[in-house]
Chains A and B, each alone.
Chain A
Amino acid sequence: MIFVTGPLYSGKRTFARKTWGEVPTVWDVQDLAAGEADPPALADRLAAEYEVVIATEIGGGVVPVEPEVRAAREAAGRLSCLLAERAETVVRVFCGLPLVLKGELP
């Protein structure tokens, strides 16, 4: 599994399509993390079902006041760590450009 992350609107999906083609891909997985009882199982499922898993980094701002928003943000960050552990390649897309954090690009 290839894990692609990066800031909002950084060109993650475009980069993934250009680099790995039309393979089974899922994006916005940061939204799946909130309320998930078993995050490692979710990460396992995503890694098994998809070749490319894409998450937006959302943890860089001020800690949210609302507890549920705070929990969702925390869960999203943890899920990204679990996905990166499982991935053979991890790429951060920034301004449309890749920074390889793990493995290598084809």
Chain B
Amino acid sequence: MLTLVIGGSASGKSEFAESLILQAPARPRVYLATMEPFGPEGAARVARHRAMRVEKGFITVERYTDLAGAEVPGGCAALLECMGNLTANELYSPSGAGEDAESAILRGIDRLLARCADLVVVTNEVFTGGQDYAGDTGRYLQVLAAVNRAVAQRADRVAEVACGQVIWYKGAER
């Protein structure tokens, strides 16, 4: 079962995505962290998300690029957070896939789908703030949008979270 959870910053998407994993019967629970923490702000964000997972039995796997190379136990319930960071890393990190970011990410998703019993992917809604983005930002938005559409197409369930409330675009609970 693949679920895509999308929302704006601080929309409650992480909490909702985590609740989906906690409801899933599969074990172990794996948290696939894609954000490379930079500076105090990054460290604080990581600490906040780690605290949310305390005693919930998550194994944390950090994977900043090359999602297809992530080692996760077969049959697990995995929470991938988040696609916005992974896309930026693949595009701009020295170890990233660069021009092949989109296909590298989707290869990773397909591999995880083959390994995991349940996969929840968290991604970012950053597409309603205008259309006149220059250079790198425009490219980032194009790649992230393409990844979001492709994952939504593969997904059994797609949900947007706004103010902690859930809007189903696809799936049984809609």
Q: Is the CB of A58 within 8 A of B152?
A: no
Q: Please indicate the chain A residues that have their CB under 8 angstroms from the CB of B131 in the complex.
A: 8, 30, 56, 58
A50 within 8 Å of B (CB atoms): no
Chain A 42-83: CB-based contact to B (< 8 A → 1; otherwise 0): 000000000000001111111010000000010000000000
A39 within 8 Å of B (CB atoms): no
Given A94-B160, A97-B158, A99-B167, A10 and B130 touching (CB < 8 A)?
no
Q: Please indicate the chain A residues that have their CB under 8 angstroms from the CB of B130 in the complex.
A: 8, 58, 61, 64, 73
B50 within 8 Å of A (CB atoms): no
B6 within 8 Å of A (CB atoms): yes
Q: Please indicate the chain A residues that have their CB under 8 angstroms from the CB of B40 in the complex.
A: none
Q: Is the CB of B128 within 8 A of A95?
A: no
User: In the complex, how many residues of chain B place their beta carbon closer than 8 angstroms to a beta carbon of chain A?
Assistant: 22
Q: Is the CB of A7 within 8 A of B169?
A: no
Q: Please indicate the chain A residues that have their CB under 8 angstroms from the CB of B141 in the complex.
A: 8-9
User: CA of A67 to CA of B129 in the docked complex: distance in angstroms?
Assistant: 16
Q: Is the CB of A9 within 8 A of B145?
A: yes
Q: Is the CB of A95 within 8 A of B129?
A: no
Q: Is the CB of B129 within 8 A of A96?
A: no
Which residues of B from 129 to 157 have beta carbons under 8 Å from A?
129-131, 141-142, 145-146, 148-149, 151-153
Q: Is the CB of B167 within 8 A of A95?
A: no
Which residue of B125, B128, B149, B167 is within 8 Å of A96 (Cβ)? B149
Q: Please indicate the chain B residues that have their CB under 8 angstroms from the CB of A97 in the complex.
A: 152, 158, 169-170
User: CA of A99 to CA of B145 in the docked complex: distance in angstroms?
Assistant: 17
A40 within 8 Å of B (CB atoms): no
Residue of A nearest to B6 (CB): A95
B86 within 8 Å of A (CB atoms): no
* Residues of B in contact with A (beta carbons under 8 Å apart): 4, 6, 125, 127-131, 141-142, 145-146, 148-149, 151-153, 158, 160, 167, 169-170
* Residues of A in contact with B (beta carbons under 8 Å apart): 7-11, 30, 56-62, 64, 73, 94-99
List, sorted by A's number, 15 A–B pairs whose CB atoms are closer than 8 Å.
A8-B145, A9-B141, A9-B149, A10-B145, A58-B129, A58-B130, A60-B129, A61-B129, A61-B130, A94-B6, A95-B4, A95-B6, A95-B151, A96-B152, A97-B169
